[in-house]
Amino acid sequence: ASCFKKYRWNQQTNLRTITIDHRHATGPCYARHLAQSLHRGEQYILQIDSHMRFRPGWDDYLIHQLNQCQEPSMSVLTTYPPNYDPPHGPGSHAETRGTILVPWKFDDKDGMLRQKGRLKNNVTG
């Protein structure tokens, strides 16, 4: 891909890609299936959407969260991230509370139910 040439990525690293013509794309489920086919036994896997933004220390935070699980090697962290307003992004005070996927509205064009993430209240105890 041209972005690799632009940024001079070393294609001999652990970075693997699959490129398909956009006309053959069939949605996020198939795309995630293709992405999972690239797994080669790495300790961690991160799947994100193209509109994600990262806060400083995101990787340490996620590893810490994973290690809080009863069986970290058998656990999956997942979320439906809160929205943000580009180009501002979340900044250094990014929200870290979990989210719940909730119904939002019916689309005027196709009548499809749209959903969004709602921030969970902090739970203590």
pLDDT tens digits for 50-62?
Answer: 667 677 788 898 8
Q: How far apart are CA 13 and CA 19, in angstroms?
A: 17
Q: Work out the angle at residue 55's Cα, subtended by the Cα atoms of residues 52 and 122, and round it to the nearest 5 degrees.
A: 95
pLDDT of residue 124: 47
pLDDT band at 125 (very low <50, low <70, confident <90, very high): very low
pLDDT tens digits for 71-104?
Answer: 998 998 877 766 666 666 555 555 667 677 788 8
Q: What is the pTM of this model?
A: 0.57
Reply yes or no on whether the pLDDT at 66 is more than 90.
yes
Q: In the predicted model, what is the mean pLDDT of the chain?
A: 77
pLDDT tens digits for 3-20?
Answer: 555 555 555 666 788 888
